[in-house]
Amino acid sequence: MKSDKKTNSFPAWVVAVGTSISGIHLAFAQSYPNKPVRVVTGDTGGSNDILARLIAPGISARLGQQLVIDNRGGGVLPGGIVAKAPSDGHTLLLYSSILWLLPLMRDNVPYNPLSDLAPVTLLGSSPNVLVVHASLPVNSVRELIALAKARPGELNYSSGPMGSPPHLAAELFKTMAGVNMVQIAYKGGGPALIALVGGQVQLMFPSPQAVNEHIKSGRLRALAVTSAQPSALLPGLPTMAASGLPGYEMKSSYAMLAPARTPSTVIKRLNRDISQTLNAPDVKERLLGVGVEAAASTPEALTKLMKSEMAVLGKVIRDANIRSE
């Protein structure tokens, strides 16, 4: 008697093809990398470049291939190059979070950070610090907010170029605190800091390394660090969130990414070797020396971070009509 019950088995040729593809992926993963790995990054001597050169030896030793640092300047060029590169894991991108924020501030960006690039791992982050000129009569974030509300439009803050981390940190502060302050934009962080030290503006959100000496000398007063957790770069300084602005967080994140459609086996290999490099005590110490707190992540966690920052800062960018040069 014949049975009408259907079977869920696949034809032999389907099984053979699936097995063949799996074998190809496995062989590819076992042979990767089979030549030097190019790491596309920003300007020579910039923060992205310094980070790349500090972690390259450890990653190279684990991969068994040389990492070649390819400096391609700032802006959208590095992301565009890697988005169009072969998806074989031999071309990577090391860049800060401006990579996924630039499309929110510019037209005609030649890549989509979420669909044209494959996250590998977070590398670390650098917070900003809220500092005020010593003459400003405030000693806490709460006192600064109260003063800004009492004197709307009278307090000035300095920043580097439009869309730079100090600029975004200040605009996020304005939004969350509900205060009206005026931006004084400079071509770079150096001139912006000089204006603050000279008393031409009242406050700024620079990197810790830029202002540590001025804080120690008493010319500037540090009120809070912008990261969600206290920072080893500024021991003892409270966070913005703990100082009157719950939920406030602003930092420059650094990440390693690959072209979209890079095999998952290659992503896993890179994630493992880069994470092991970042967790080495000597690497952590060297990164801290240049203002980066090392922190590896899964590809999924990096994707979540990118989407979160694009959502939160995207609103700030739209509301303030921030356009990057």
- pLDDT mean values, one per 10 residues, the chain (325 residues): 46 50 51 97 96 98 97 94 98 97 95 98 97 97 98 96 94 97 94 96 96 96 97 96 96 97 98 98 96 97 98 95 86
Specify the pLDDT at position 3.
45
CATH node for 129-243: 3.40.190.10
Q: In CATH, which of 3.10.129.10, 3.40.190.150, 3.40.50.300, 3.40.50.2300 is domain 27-126+252-320?
A: 3.40.190.150
Q: What is the 3-state secondary structure (H, E, C) of 211-278?
A: HHHHHHHCCEEEEEECCCCCCCCCCCCCECHHHCCCCCCCEEEEEEEEECCCCHHHHHHHHHHHHHHH
Rounded Cα distance between 307 and 190, Å, is: 31
User: Residue 32: what are its φ and ψ, rounded to 5°?
Assistant: -85, 140
| Alpha-carbon distance values, 102 to 78, 106, 121, 213, 254 (Å) | 12, 6, 20, 31, 14
* Nearest in space to 274 (alpha carbons), one of 253, 288, 295, 289: 295
Where in the chain are the domains?
A: 27-126+252-320, 129-243
Specify the pLDDT at position 74.
87
* Nearest in space to 40 (alpha carbons), one of 111, 131, 139: 111
For residue 176, give every residue at least 6 positions away whose Cβ sits within 8 Å of its Cβ, in sequence order, or none: 245, 247, 248
Which amino acid is located at 86 in the chain? Answer: P
Rounded Cα distance between 253 and 311, Å, is: 15
**Could you check whether 27-126+252-320 and 129-243 share the same CATH topology?**
yes
Residue 139, classified by CB atoms within 10 Å of its CB into exposed (0-12), middle (13-18) or buried (19+), is exposed
